Structure 1
Amino acid sequence: MRAIAVMAVILAHLSISWLPGGFVGVDIFFVISGYLITGLLLREYDAKGDISLSDFYRRRIRRLFPAMLVTCLFTVLGGFLIFSQERFELLLDSTLAAFFSVSNFYFWSQVGYFDTESSVKPLLHTWSLGVEEQFYLVWPLLILCMLRYYGRRSVITALIVLSILSFGLNALFISYDVGDRLADANGWRSGFLDGNSTAFYLMPFRIFEFGLGALLVFMRPRLLMARPIVADVITLGALAGLCFLMASLTEHSVFPYYNALWVALLSALIIAFSGKSRVASLLLANPMMVFIGGISYSLYLVHWPLIVYYKALFGELDSLAVGVLLVAMFVLGYALNILVENRFRQVPARDSASGVAALVSRGAIFLALIVSVVTVLLLKNIDGRVPEHRVALSNAEWRKLERQQYCSDSLKGFPKPIFTCQNDRGSKHTVVVWGDSHALHLVAGISEAFPESNIAVAYLSGCISQSGFKGLVRKFPSQKLTDECVERNKAFLRWAKNHKGDVVVYISNAKRNKPEQVSVINNLHVTRLEQYGHAAYVLGDFIRPGVELAQCYSVPDFLLTDSMLRARCKFDAQAVKAELRYSEKLAALSKNYIPVHAIQCAKGECEFSDDTGRISFRDTHHLSPLGAIYWVNRLKEAGAFQAGWALANSDANL
């Protein structure tokens, strides 16, 4: 079963098209852990009349931590050699989270598991270890308390109740959006806004999987009384069911919730009946499966960092790359299993003795942990790893620069709940940009292009200016945020109706909906704003590279030369073509449209760097402040902001 679980995960992560749901292998591991750990604890209690928590935790630490520490340190070494500073610092943070068994909380606080950013997080897979280790922390205490004070039958009752509650939590967060009531838009509580991610990452939502495995300890003796033919049919059917789920589930499927329940039930059936099944002996207990299952933990640890670093060095995977990676995974997984995992897995006889030697032996893992933590913290302060000509500021640094330089003032008559970025220059004229982050990323360029004007950005993250009109509503994970976005946009128009100052409004676009739908709303906005006495224009969205070019270039030169980077760091041509078609369509349908793509792509191919070769985008779709200054100045030089220019060029045929 371990072999099935780990190979399913590996093949899914290798992007094997016929196994998109292989990620359910993690859930198989959870069921196995619930079965094995509960059985271990009950046998100890039956034999000794008690459970030694210290012995249990010591065994778990020896079983899991040495191989994990070694994997993390080698992963950090790989990141040191090939990652940009921003990605390397994120890797160090995730390493510390893995060391202390809170990876699931760390990644939950960031983006979803299936986000494209997962491809640059080499320790993302350790989230499942965090869930397992948190389970190991609470489960023995629960079992011991129930056995000691209420008896063996109470354990069954507790398992059933906890499993039902855990599954109910999935329903509350995924089907009924209860996370909305727990969350706010900022801080750690904002993670609850995405009920699916909350259920995916946090241990209480997975208890029903561990619980089903644990219940098997009590049920299996009776189930093993089944006839071999019955056991064969059930085992084959359960295996077929697992294969079907692995082939049919995708990153868009509801998970964990009821799909994970199916995985857990089928896994439990295989465990329950395999002891009497001849099919199970043939398929699951042959030497190859036993070997893979034996190294499954080490194999799981090494597989994802290898995939991430291969992609970082050579790009997307082809069939040859898949073969090479599979060989590398098994070689390194076997080596980690033999040299590290098995060496620490069993407590040596001398450890039972007293004295300095035993103390050192028992403390070796904790000493290694301390040294590892110190090493990671020191690496955060190393300078000069990336050559000067490749250095790029991180996303966080760019945002801080934007805020400090261009959003530090208050304008009279511009309420801060609407205008979250303001730059007061004492002028009677104000330039307003209205939209989501694709409005805010222009603030440096607009500020430098209009030095004699006040600047105000009506910005809310993810909130496009078209949301709330003509049936278009931008959906957020939280209904609260969805409503807040709609109300913010309506509040902006109410403000515009009542404000009598000299204002020009640029409506930004983030290519989130069809041009036919967006253009109708844009035209409505322009008409209304003009009726209110303001000049209004629709500012086209810049064509995005589709990849993080800045981070791709901003890497050390230990392994990657400049020529390798030029060959490797290319924009997504298909995405760029699609964006260009979108912009041309929107330009043809929109009133007072400023077609920025006509400047960005004027030379026959869209440009993503300035005239010095510096990448102008800070991530996959946002301009850096320097990039915004460069491109807005290009627009200004071309006359884009002159009266009549937008109308004359609204067909984008320059």
Structure 2
Amino acid sequence: MRRDPLKYRAEIDGLRAVAVVPVILFHAGFEAFGGGYVGVDVFFVISGYLITTIILAELNEGRFSLMNFYERRARRILPALFFVALCCLPVAWLVLFPTDLKDFAQSLIAVATFSSNFLFWSEAGYFDTAAEIKPLLHTWSLAVEEQYYIIFPVFLMLAWRWGKRRITQILIGVFLFSLALAQWAAYQEPEAGFFLLPARAWELLAGAFVAFYVDRRGAVDVAPGLANILSALGLAGIGFAIFAYDHSTPFPSLYAVVPVLGVVAVIMFAQPGTLVHRLLAFRPVVGVGLVSYSAYLWHQPILAFYGHAVGRNAPLWHTALMLLATALLSVFSYYVIETPTRRRTVFGTRMKIGGFAVAGSLALIGVGLMGTLSNGNMFRYPQPVVDMFARADAYGLSTWEAKNASRLQDFDQDAATKLLLIGDSNSADLQNALAAVIDKDVSVVSAQVGATCGNLFVPPEDFAAFIERSRFKLCGAKHNDLMADKTYALIEEADIVILATAWSEWEVGLMRDSLDRLTEEYGDKFWVFGTKSVRFSRAEILEQCLSDCMGWTTSPVKSTTKINDSLAEIMGDRFIDPLSLMCSEGECTGFISPGEVLVYDGFHFTPDGSVWFGERMRDAGLIDRMGLGS
């Protein structure tokens, strides 16, 4: 059976539905769709096939024009994209706090310049919690496609005189290089591999190769029974990836070959009469496919703004309402925005769509620059407080600076006292605080144990079951100095050892056994520094700072108080309770000056906060009691 490659194929619109629904459900938090992100890969293959089909047909007839090509892309992509971005602006203004609004502003610039994938690659991984609530995170895939279509049609046009065989050979080489790069990057540079074109180009080229095959030989003509089997295997491959993969699957690597080949098989073998064709061409499925672009655009902002306004753990009925809103807005965008602009009912000439593209891009860039240059303040909140939130990354670096510099170093043999701090960022905070007040004749060395990895001296099998699977990598030798012989030599040599971690309840349960083992082996030199999580709300802080920042106070997280009480029972006088210094009668210090909080995220000290806390330790007599006084 031979088909016109340019003839409308309803089953491909149905395949778009297979792509978009899992992506939306994945982002909505449905665990069954752990691999729903492969829907983007399905879109890439479909796009590679359809666009290449059109380009080849026009090149064959000698009428291909880059201007016509980019006009079609502009009509297809920009109106709905700009409309969604425009609708996001007032919501972002109302919902986002300055640091998040600054991030959103930067993403507007990236959307307008089709560089979102570079922006989100530089900020966080796709599966990171911080990325989940970025309203325009999903535009990274549009950026990848548009970067591809800046290069690909120009290449075809320039290389056309070489012949299709030569062009295909070159593209096969690019395909193999891109696939090999994707496999390497999935393990060595996973964020770059996920977001950037070089590791994604092979997926678009997979669709392009189908177009080249059809252009040369016509649609694949196989027996109906074989077509049924192959198309069904293709759809099953896509389904397998959607339901079997999750955030821990290295991607896009060779794992991505499964859904990509699945799409190729469906495009090639889902002939009329096959079961897969009947399923995908079913009118409701096609209807979802037709609005799939708008649905893709709408779903992430809706879910992300909800996460900012309410929280990420939405009850099922809230999620259902968000999905309903996505569906309704998608239908609206398709009929009111997409269809008129593509049919030239709106922006009927190239000049008009070009003017719209330029004006819309400049508008997004302008608003983005305003939000970026004002650190997301947009003139609503006191600038010192906005600047304080903007320093969060710098605060994070300063937390670790001293700890990293002293990690597993040798003690100064001339020092009167040798102090070893073992733990995670809580020990880094303590080290910074002590640096402000301890005697200069104290030699301080640190050892690292990742949070919730077990800062314990008991057999690892006693607590391995408590460590979350997602943290196994962070609990390996690179982040866990309890696996290094040097650590135990330092414990032997130290005069004082302080264990400081964001303690969990299961660690407390094993602390007594751990302490007994340590004192039996190394003597009575061990102290424990408690955990210090407090309630931290940027919304409350900003609201309070409209009048007086110093009026904002906070309170301990209940589980933190319970953990510290248990540690105090075990350690007695050798326990340091940070909350007792930060809080009084359940009310904890918030600001230590009008432009500086004590903790910048509810746990970690700011640089000035470290000094403040160190002075409180000294004033409470703890420094002298440990023998570290000046």
Give the shorter-chain TM-score range.
0.7 to 0.9
Answer yes or no: is 1:152 the counterpart of 2:164.
Answer: yes
Which residue identity lines up with residue 549 of structure 1 in the other structure? F
CA–CA distance in structure 2, aligned partners of residues 115 and 244 of structure 1: 23
Answer yes or no: is 1:42 the counterpart of 2:56.
Answer: yes
C-alpha change, 1:384 and 1:275, in structure 2 (3 Å) is closer
Identity of aligned residues (%): 23
For 1:36, what is the secondary structure of its paired residue? helix
CA–CA distance in structure 1, aligned partners of residues 383 and 590 of structure 2: 14
C-alpha change, 1:361 and 1:11, in structure 2 (3 Å) is closer
Answer yes or no: is 1:114 the counterpart of 2:127.
Answer: yes
C-alpha change, 1:456 and 1:83, in structure 2 (3 Å) is farther
Which residue identity lines up with residue 74 of structure 1 in the other structure? C
Number of corresponding residues? 585
TM-superposed CA distance for 1:630, in Å, is 6.1
TM-superposed CA distance for 1:44, in Å, is 1.0
**In structure 2, what is the equivalent of residue 11 of structure 1?**
25
Answer yes or no: is 1:551 the counterpart of 2:534.
Answer: no
CA–CA distance in structure 1, aligned partners of residues 229 and 42 of structure 2: 20
Q: Assess if the C-alpha contact under 8 Å between 1:466 and 1:522 holds in 2.
A: no
Q: Deviations over 1:187-228 (max 9, x none)?
A: xxxxxxxx2222211111112211221121244566631233
Q: Assess if the C-alpha contact under 8 Å between 1:509 and 1:540 holds in 2.
A: yes
Q: Assess if the C-alpha contact under 8 Å between 1:610 and 1:630 holds in 2.
A: no
Q: Assess if the C-alpha contact under 8 Å between 2:590 and 2:599 holds in 1.
A: no
**In structure 2, what is the equivalent of residue 57 of structure 1?**
70
Structure-to-structure mapping, 1:377-526, within 5 angstroms: 377-380=369-372, 381=374, 383=377, 386=380, 391=385, 394=388, 396-397=390-391, 400=394, 417-418=405-406, 437-442=425-430, 445-446=433-434, 450=437, 506=498, 508-510=500-502
Q: Deviations over 1:371-430 (max 9, x none)?
A: 2211221234375755569956545525657999x999xxxxx9995489xxxxxx9999
Answer yes or no: is 1:336 the counterpart of 2:350.
Answer: no
Q: Assess if the C-alpha contact under 8 Å between 1:434 and 1:457 holds in 2.
A: no
Residue 225 of structure 2, aligned match among 207, 225, 229: 229
Which residue identity lines up with residue 269 of structure 2 in the other structure? F
TM-score, normalised to structure 2, is 0.75
Answer yes or no: is 1:367 the counterpart of 2:363.
Answer: no
**In structure 2, what is the equivalent of residue 326 of structure 1?**
323
Structure 2: stretches of 5+ with no match in the other structure:
1-14, 409-414, 461-466, 545-551
C-alpha change, 1:570 and 1:389, in structure 2 (3 Å) is farther
TM-score, normalised to structure 1, is 0.73
Structure-to-structure mapping, 1:599-638, within 5 angstroms: 599=580, 610=590, 616-619=598-601, 621-625=603-607, 628=610
Q: Deviations over 1:253-312 (max 9, x none)?
A: 222112211011111111112233442343212222222211211111111110111222
For 1:109, what is the secondary structure of its paired residue? helix
For 2:601, what is the secondary structure of its paired residue? coil
CA–CA distance in structure 2, aligned partners of residues 348 and 106 of structure 1: 35
TM-superposed CA distance for 1:126, in Å, is 1.3
TM-superposed CA distance for 1:482, in Å, is 7.0
C-alpha change, 1:350 and 1:167, in structure 2 (3 Å) is closer
**In structure 2, what is the equivalent of residue 540 of structure 1?**
529
Q: Assess if the C-alpha contact under 8 Å between 2:420 and 2:444 holds in 1.
A: yes
C-alpha change, 1:429 and 1:71, in structure 2 (3 Å) is farther
For 1:57, what is the secondary structure of its paired residue? helix
**In structure 2, what is the equivalent of residue 164 of structure 1?**
176
TM-superposed CA distance for 1:325, in Å, is 0.7
Residue 596 of structure 1, aligned match among 556, 562, 577: 577
C-alpha change, 1:402 and 1:118, in structure 2 (3 Å) is closer
**In structure 2, what is the equivalent of residue 139 of structure 1?**
152
For 1:156, what is the secondary structure of its paired residue? helix
Structure 1: stretches of 5+ with no match in the other structure:
180-194, 353-357, 409-413, 421-426, 558-564, 647-654
Which residue identity lines up with residue 93 of structure 1 in the other structure? Q
For 2:246, what is the secondary structure of its paired residue? coil
C-alpha change, 1:73 and 1:593, in structure 2 (3 Å) is farther
Which residue identity lines up with residue 318 of structure 2 in the other structure? A
Q: Deviations over 1:525-570 (max 9, x none)?
A: 9999x99xxx97545252436xx8343534579xxxxxxx99xx99
Q: Assess if the C-alpha contact under 8 Å between 2:419 and 2:445 holds in 1.
A: no
Structure-to-structure mapping, 1:221-370, within 5 angstroms: 224-315=220-311, 316-346=313-343, 359=351, 361-370=353-362
CA–CA distance in structure 1, aligned partners of residues 538 and 257 of structure 2: 40
Report which stretch shifted further, 297-306 or 57-66: 57-66
**In structure 2, what is the equivalent of residue 91 of structure 1?**
104
CA–CA distance in structure 1, aligned partners of residues 89 and 297 of structure 2: 14
C-alpha change, 1:133 and 1:608, in structure 2 (3 Å) is farther
TM-superposed CA distance for 1:594, in Å, is 3.2
